[in-house]
Chain A
Amino acid sequence: MMPKTYLAQNRSVLIFIACLALFTLAITLMSEAYGAPLISTSFVKTLGKTLCLCLVALAMDLIWGYAGILSLGHMAFFALGGYMAGMWLMYARTEEIVVQALAQSPLPATAEEITQGIATQIFGVVGSSDFPLIWSFAHSFPLQMAMAVLVPGLLALVFGWLAFRSRVTGVYLSILTQAMTLALSLYLFQNDSGLRGNNGLSGLQNIPGLGDVGQDKLSIWFFWASALALGLGYIALSFVVSGKFGSVIRAIRDDEQRVRFLGYSVEGYKLFLFTLTAIIAALAGVLYYPQAGIINPAELAPIASIYLAVWVAIGGRGRLYGAVIGAAFVSLLSSWFTGGRAPSIPLGFYTVNWVDWWLVLLGGAFVAVTLFAPKGFGGLFDRFSGRRSPDRKGAALGPDDGSLMEKEAEA
């Protein structure tokens, strides 16, 4: 499938895959379902969700770290993927319940009665009892999974085409993607959006057809699936960024004009990357939300996408393992602090309660990383690998907004 030289040239991929495999094995052996019950089911779910977040962070690193496009909309694609998967989960699960309830009646139920029953169950909460048009494929798993790829993919394609075509770059593109995210979340907040307004979709942790399989097993299965997806995503993306294609997108990041003058179709490259990363984000969402159990429009608030950029920056942009480490570290630390498990610090006159102060710490840490450690965690690895920054007398790699700074770059 891949040329041998590719893996030989990219040792980090092998190391990453090995680490991921070891980690998966270790967690499996410590889980309640398949080993010594050392870690709880809910923690396995947290880890599985974290792997999905690592996957979407990979996508973010590709678009921002490698192509210099600071998209503040990728969490919207992530949530859209989640919504699409959630629609099938909710439909199929409700169908099971409705069929069971109708089996009590003296006559066998007609197909219309079942559909009507499902619609009433799902949309009763927003005062409706009919399926909106966007639920047309929700009854079929393969069709709905195709939607999970197609809807975010098409949205990214159309939006990206409009934006890149009119040469919207840099911060303007960031603001525009943020506006897109805001528009989408405001739209989904409406009750007549067809996706249950601010109630969102719930009960997604119950997988249709697997009613008798306990959550402890399901959580491990999803953990495996997430790990597999992350591994495949890592290999695929590292393949994309290596070779000539990778060189072109890095060049676009640093000096778009020059690449254009050299005859490359900059817009085509950007559009391909934007759509590809949107689809990866959507797939991560498909795996994430069955583990989270619920999705609502708050998930695609603009702030979520900014957090995504924060993870990548803390991990170190422009290197794939950096994105994974950043996402895993910050999101796990975040759930540790906000979960109330971090010990409070009594100062005598005031007690620092981390539930209240975690965001202040995160905000401060983020400013500090941006100012003092542009390489993020990647900088730690450079100490071992011996990678050095070029000597460009303080100049960035190129004139574009997204270009790498001297300190981030590789000599």
Chain B
Amino acid sequence: MNIDRRLFRLIREEKRPFIFSAVSGAAASILLIAQAYCLSRAISGAFIERSGMAGIVPFLGYFALVTLLRMLCNWITHVKAAEGSIVIRERLFGRLVSRIADLGPLYARSISSGRISATMLKGVEALDPYFSSYIPQIFLALFTPLLIVAAILPDDWLSALILLLSAPLIPFFMIVIGKSASAVTEKQWKSMSRMSGQFLDILQGLTTLKLFAQSARQRKSIEETGENFRKATMKVLKIAFLSSLALELVGTIGTAIIAVSIGTRLMENRLSFRQALFVLILTPDFYLPLRQLGTKFHAGMEGVSASKEIFAILEEEIAAAPVRPSVGAENPETGGIVFSGITYAYPGATVPAADSVSFTIPEGRTTALIGPSGAGKSTLINLLLRFLEPSGGCITYKGTPIGEIAPETWHNLISWVPQHPHLFNATLRENILIAMPGASDQMLQNALQDSGLTDVVQSLPRGLDTIIGEQGSRLSGGEAQRVALARAFLKNAPIIVLDEPTSHTDPELEALLRSSMKVLTKERTTLIIAHRLETIRNADRIVVISGGKITGSGTHEELIGTDGFYRHALHLLQEAAA
């Protein structure tokens, strides 16, 4: 009954609060019966036996005491179930983020990044009703009704039989309606995400719409999507309402039948008033937990569909670094970074993005990687940064396969200036100091100077202490890359991986950056994805890649003599620059 096995395993890891909750829930059910008994004794005492206040006071006293205890138990049941759910959520969240961390930037920044963040932020939370309400309710819906039947059986076996016979109708209706509900719920989710998607598209493109004086036209399509969403939501709700109607009818009609049946038996004197009252007080409480199961089932269903996304991430495979004899170690005195026979294919791709690639990035020299877009340049960088693990071949650094170096140690050796660096939601100062938390003010100023950020800092409203990133001031792409450059200056690592910007900043700044990049890469082992003529010409070594394969390598002078992509590209670049 909608108990996902993987979800249930989570409960098994964190049983205690749930057991606590169940025990106290069971105690509350027993107290409920005691309550009904005291109340029926008190009323029948006053009404039938005419015992007056004196006769009923003890029962009222017990009733008060039992009530107090029962409310306490109820409270504990609630609190403990919530605690269990929270412990599970905390644990699940931790697992989820560390799994995403292991899967790495390529996974997190993939097309589905919106879905991943939604799962992280909302998916885990959506599980709450499942654990805090639905699961405990399953227990109560089984235990309480059975206990009530057992309690009234000695007094009135017929009513007990009626209750017992009507009870299965409730799960029956739930299953019938639940089946159609899950299909509709899915549809509603889709129309919800379609609506969000459309809104985001329109919000981001609003300026474009205005430029073409077309924004009024979009109003209609928003209206339509909104209307579809409303209809889809109402459809889901109507099913939920219908199911609770069915459940409620079973309950109320059951109560009505029992009232009439015990009424007639009372008249025939086959039942005492106290017994009848006892049964009647308990009848609504027999149906209540079953009915609540119905509503909590609907609330829990959202969690179950959210859990599918969570488990999809948790079960995503992480490619382990292949363990194999280090091929590149044969030439340890070369130093530098050696790619030998590196092969990698993206999941689902038929053609490898890197196909037995072998080349050397000599120690302390600058190697330029060039090739048409989609040739596999970024793949090689990602492999070098260990954001991807090769399916074949080996990368060595000073003779040691990088797979054998602890990732933290390896990353510590590298400064990385990507094409689109991430700016954290923090001050500009913090964003730069991430590379060297203890840097002195002078070092920071130098890094700003070297990366051409001094003017940018001055233009920001609060200088270095301006918040940038998601919620702060926006820096342009070029400025963001200069922040990455400043980080690299501070980090002062022996290996530099640089992705040269394709877009142009203005020429004066470009000249400045070029000279500071020269300073940065001097004497350091550098791999640079180059787009600029000058960068390419100044490199100590050039590696040309095309279709995942190395098509040439050597110095500028060596390559210019050969026919191929290098000459072609150089020619085009010159023409474009002219």
Decide whether A and B assemble into one complex. Answer: no
> Which A residues fall within an 8 A CB radius of B?
none
> Which B residues fall within an 8 A CB radius of A?
none
